Amino acid sequence: MADEIVIDVRSLNKSFGSHHVVKDLALSVRRGEIFGFLGPNGSGKTTSIRMLCGLLTPDSGEGTCLGFDIRRESKSIKRHVGYMTQRFSLWEDLTIRENLRFVGRMYSMDEVARRVEEALALLGLADRADQLAGELSGGWKQRLALAACLLHEPRLLLLDEPTAGVDPKARRDFWDQLHELAARGITVLVSTHYMDEAERCHKLGYILGGRLLAQGTAREVIESQSLVAWTVDGPGLAALATQLRALPAVDQVAAFGASLHITGTDAAALDVALAPFKTEAGRTWRRIEPGLEDVFIHLMQSRAEPPPPHHAGSKAP
């Protein structure tokens, strides 16, 4: 069924020593969905994904993945998960086909030849099958890594910033492939820093300090924060930005090309604060829709936790 719940978890927590990395994570993901995790480095994205897929045992909490209990049946979950890390870890002195055949034999898969040829066709690698992996561009290496993840025909893909360092065209092609896989019923969990990739996810969640602060479709996440946004272009924008940042009603001021992008959470207060500046000659002001980047920066600024106190004699981390 297209609406089948693949991941359903509640109150997941994970600590490493005294560091509470993930705090009370609750999430539901359906079959064939691409769910994107966003957040700054060290926010708990990767740890969250690994717990959801049975690759890491939570300290507390409960739930299921692919119908298996995430705490008691992690081995069963792992058999149905394809895991792709940031770093390309296949063998550069082997061809694409040899890499895939080696992976298939290493994991004792049956019908390795069939699986390899199907993966080559599915990922558009057949014409390059005899090319050495070391000669591939970053985008093609990522496609090869994804093909290796698909050899055992997983029902769930775990992708940790899969397009880091890949050019925009290759990133777009890679995401086209992900949507084709999702249409086949494969569920995808992916972490990314790219806003254009976040917008291509069916659902997404923003994690900060180990907490999932917002989740839903891109539109739902944007609307949940009730941000108001204006854009202005004209002369003297650098000086204007300094003035605007000093206003209590202004949440963010960012340069976008030859314009400034101004956001706040109180529409009436922001209108009052900006009114004197709108009368200045030579500038054009427009009310615009806030974007995901506005929301995520707002969340970082408004929910950031203070650094832990530094005790005399303690060592820096």
Does 32 share its domain with 114?
Answer: yes
Identify whether 306 is part of a domain: no
Does 212 share its domain with 248?
Answer: no
Spatial CA neighbour of 278 closest among 212, 221, 218, 233: 233
Identify whether 145 is part of a domain: yes
Q: Does 316 have pLDDT greater than 70?
A: no
Does 247 share its domain with 185?
Answer: no
Identify whether 312 is part of a domain: no
Is-contact 230 262, C-beta < 8 A?
yes
**How many CB atoms are closer than 10 A to CB 140?**
20
- Alpha-carbon distance of 45 to 160, in angstroms, equals 9
Write the CA distances from 250 to 212, 228, 241, integer angstroms: 25, 10, 11
Does 50 share its domain with 10?
Answer: yes
Contacts of residue 111, Cβ cutoff 8 Å, sequence gap at least 6: none
- Alpha-carbon distance of 253 to 180, in angstroms, equals 38
Contacts of residue 92, Cβ cutoff 8 Å, sequence gap at least 6: 132, 133, 134
Residues 182-240 have pLDDT tens digits of 999 999 999 988 888 999 999 999 999 999 999 999 999 999 988 999 999 999 999 99
pTM, two decimals, is 0.85
Does 100 share its domain with 164?
Answer: yes
Angle at 40 between CA 20 and CA 212, to 5 degrees: 55
Beta bridge partners of 261: 231, 254
Identify whether 159 is part of a domain: yes
For residue 263, give the CATH number of its domain.
3.30.70.100
Does 158 share its domain with 246?
Answer: no
Residue whose entry in the numeric block shows the structure tokens 């992708």: 159
Rounded to 10 deg, the angle between the 267-278 and 237-245 helix axes is 140
Q: What percent of the chain has pLDDT over 90?
A: 68
Does 181 share its domain with 259?
Answer: no
User: Going by DSSP bridges, is the β-strand pair 203-208/34-38 parallel, antiparallel, or unpaired?
Assistant: parallel
Identify whether 313 is part of a domain: no
Does 184 share its domain with 85?
Answer: yes
For residue 78, give the CATH number of its domain.
3.40.50.300
Tell me the two tokens of residue 120. Answer: 């080559």
Is-contact 281 287, C-beta < 8 A?
no
- The set of long-range contacts for 75-81, using a CB threshold of 8 Å and a minimum separation of 24, is 77/53, 78/53, 78/54, 79/152, 80/154, 80/155, 80/156, 81/53, 81/54, 81/55, 81/154, 81/155, 81/156, 81/157, 81/158
Q: Give the model's pLDDT for residue 1.
A: 46
Angle at 153 between CA 172 and CA 51, to 5 degrees: 80
Identify whether 168 is part of a domain: yes
How many independent structural domains does the chain possess? 2
Does 216 share its domain with 247?
Answer: no
pLDDT range class, residue 37, cuts 50, 70, 90: very high
Identify whether 39 is part of a domain: yes
Does 156 share its domain with 236?
Answer: no
Does 258 share its domain with 129?
Answer: no
Write the CA distances from 107 to 100, 101, 146, 229, 302, integer angstroms: 11, 10, 16, 52, 47
Among 173, 199, 222, where does a domain finish? 222
Identify whether 317 is part of a domain: no
- Alpha-carbon distance of 86 to 242, in angstroms, equals 38
Does 209 share its domain with 244?
Answer: no
Rounded to the nearest angstrom, the gap between the alpha carbon of residue 86 and the centroid of all alpha carbons in its chain is 12
Q: Give the model's pLDDT for residue 307.
A: 46
Residues 76-119 have pLDDT tens digits of 998 999 988 766 678 989 999 999 999 999 888 999 999 999 99
Domain assignment of residue 283, given as a range: 228-289
